[in-house]
Amino acid sequence: MKVAIYCRLSEEDKNKQYETDDSASIANQKAMLAEYATEQGWEIYKIYSDDDYTGSDRRRPEFNRLIKDAEAHKFDIVLCKTQSRFTRELELVERYIHGLFPIWGIRFISVVDNADTANKGNKKSRQINGLVNEWYLEDMSDNIRSVLTNRRKSGLHIGAFALYGYKKDPDKKGHLIIDEEAAAVVREVFSLFAKGYGKTAIARMLNDRGIPNPTEYKRLHGLRYAQPKTKTGTLWKYSAISSMLANEIYIGNMVQGRYGSVSYKTKQNKPRPKSEWYIVKGTHEPIIDRELWERVQSLREQKTKPFDMGTVGPFAGKVRCAYCGYVMRSHKNHGRHYLQCITNFVSKGSCPGAFMPVAELEKIVLDELGRLSDEYLDRDELERGIEFCNDLSEQRSRIESDIAAFRKKIAEYDKGIRELYMDKVRGILTEDDYVSMSKEFAAERDRLLHAIDYGEEQISEIDVKIAAGDNRRELIEHYINVDHLTRDMVDALIDHIVVGRRDPKTKQVPVEIHWNF
């Protein structure tokens, strides 16, 4: 019999009060379980170990690897110290321990609480353990939320990352101090806006001078920073300037609680109304004085131009440039609304740019939705009749092929830069020619690197959709026979849309719709 050992150490197991409690450590878990397996005469297939993960975290890498190997029946038994080490969620107990493991022919054993799926008599005790662990998660979540709420109300900074322009005070927990190098950029941004410069113009000025954006600045200085959910790169963008100009933390006020978790079972957050934010004034030294702040806020209100009065565009934040992956911005000209990539505006020559009238994009989406609904109405088997983005698996393969081609091209550019350098050393090229040509090679290489990053993001999104399953039938039925798109409909139906440049011959704009199914 082959046995897979699973161990987990979470934050709650650290810094125990008594020395005897160190039996919860990963090392001792492994030793205890390995000894138990040897006593039973089982062969240890592999030890899976997740360090610093809670029992409710479904993204545990080794846990998911264990599940995948169990499905492939690479072993016969899953062995844990306790059932709670495997999971604290009753739903996962039922799904795996009582559901899929028996189907896959896998036996589950936890040593300390005597859970064993080979013993049908203790199924109820396993379910009770799962219920108790579920209650534990909920109580722990409530306790943590209560502590964090009190700290927020007291004006203490509880985030993992300090806002650009500040850093965490090493001598006082929960206090921010000014990071002068970054703060100088913040002051310049506010001053330029107060003098009448637009947000895109300010971003272009910072990029022209080679000033890294907040994420890149923190990375270069070895500071902790939040991994962006969408593509950011190293360039300053309109959105970064806009967010900075609206943040009260820069005038010494602590603002927290903009987002709240959906449930203690998930890491997903959702925006909270401003009335529920925690704002405490005068908690730290301001970077921007009150007079400049008020002048900037007044200008922001004057320059605010919603898509239509009181609304936002239906595609806001949903449309990305096919060449650089950045979100396209909306603008209005002669009464018509357009979507445009602004990368080339903030950094000259960095992207070919994409452009699309909103009305034209809406028609494309509606036509495609109509085609899908017609096919659905004509066929009883939806799975055979609808192929979004030409099938997710095929789309994934195509993107992987593109990435491989990009990597090959990057290697060619690297080789070309090295050969140019040798030509310069030999005197074949002048210094000016070398700088000019190598700069072109480097720019094209950087563009390809951005394209690879974007492609890898797309693959991750496709994998999530494949894992989530097929909910297309329900969504198509809900939105058939519509002649106009609302923002709510776009949110429900579309994850994002990729748009390229118009073909001068066909006059068609390449559009790729990534649906929420």
Q: Kindly state the average pLDDT of the residues 232-247.
A: 83
My answer on whether 85 and 194 are in the same domain is: no
CA 340 – CA 319 distance, rounded (Å): 9
**293 against 447, higher pLDDT:** 293
Same domain, 55 and 18: yes
**Are both 162 and 146 inside the same structural domain?**
no
CATH of the domain at 163: 3.90.1750.20
**How confident is residue 125, by pLDDT bands cut at 50, 70 and 90?**
low
* Residues 442, 375 share a domain: yes
- Do 327 and 342 meet the contact criterion of CB atoms below 8 Å apart? no
Mean pLDDT, the chain, rounded, equals 78
With respect to residue 314, please indicate whether it lies within any of the assigned structural domains.
no
Query: How many Å apart are CA 30 and CA 346, to the nearest integer?
Result: 54
Mean pLDDT throughout 329-346?
Answer: 79
Judge whether 504 lies within some domain: yes
- List, in sequence order, every beta strand (DSSP E) within 30-182: 43-51, 77-80, 107-110, 115-116, 166-168, 176-178
Shared domain for 143 and 277, answered yes or no, is no
359-415 pLDDT tens trace:
899 888 888 877 776 665 554 444 443 444 446 677 778 788 888 888 888 888 778
Cα torsion 111, 117, 119, 123: sign: positive
Grade residue 219 by pLDDT with cuts at 50, 70 and 90: confident
Domain count, the chain: 3
Confidence of residue 201 (pLDDT cuts 50, 70, 90): confident
Let me know whether 275 and 340 are in one domain. Answer: no
Q: Looking at the DSSP assignment, which residues form a beta bridge with residue 319? A: 497
296 and 327 part of one domain: no
Task: Specify whether 298 is located in the same domain as 383.
Answer: no
Per DSSP, the residues of 405-468 read HHHHHHHHHHHHHHHHHHHHHHTSS-HHHHHHHHHHHHHHHHHHHHHHHHHHHHHHHHHHHHHH
Q: How many CA atoms lie within 13 A of 369 on its CB side?
A: 25
We report the CATH number of the domain holding residue 115 as 3.40.50.1390
Listed residues 303, 332, 363: the one ending a domain: 303
Residue 355 forms part of a structural domain: yes
Q: What is the pLDDT of residue 95?
A: 85
Residue 162 CA: distances (Å) to CA of 115, 119, 182, 238, 268: 45, 52, 12, 21, 21
Q: Which of 151, 182, 197 is the last residue of a domain?
A: 151
Whole-prediction pTM: 0.44
Q: How confident is the model at residue 298 (pLDDT cuts 50, 70, 90)?
A: confident
96 and 183 inside one domain? no
Report yes or no on 394 lying in a domain: yes
Residue 230, pLDDT > 60, answer: no
Q: Is 8 helix (H, G, I), strand (E, B) or coil?
A: strand
- Mean pLDDT to the nearest integer, 325-331: 79
Residue range(s) defining the domain that contains residue 499? 319-515
* Domain assignment of residue 309, yes or no: no
pLDDT value at 506 more than 50:
yes
Residue 23, pLDDT above cutoff 50: no
Q: Is residue 274 part of a domain?
A: yes
How far CA 288 is from CA of 153, 244, 294, in Å, comes to: 23, 11, 10
Q: How confident is the model over 121-142, as a mean pLDDT? A: 62
pLDDT value for 185: 94
Counting DSSP H helices and E strands in the chain, the numbers are 18, 17
Q: What percent of the chain has pLDDT over 70?
A: 76
DSSP assignment, residue 327?
A: B
Does 310 map to a domain?
no
Same-domain check for residues 121 and 220? no
Q: Report if residue 313 sits inside a domain.
A: no
Domain boundary among 85, 119, 151: 151
Say whether both 144 and 170 belong to one domain: no
Give the pLDDT confidence of 58-84 residue by residue, as tens digits: 788 899 999 999 999 999 999 998 888
Task: Let me know whether 146 and 158 are in one domain.
Answer: no
How many residues in total does the chain contain? Answer: 517
Model confidence at 129: pLDDT above 70: no
Band of pLDDT at residue 275, cut at 50, 70 and 90: confident
Of the pLDDT bands very low, low, confident and very high (cuts 50, 70, 90), residue 471 is low
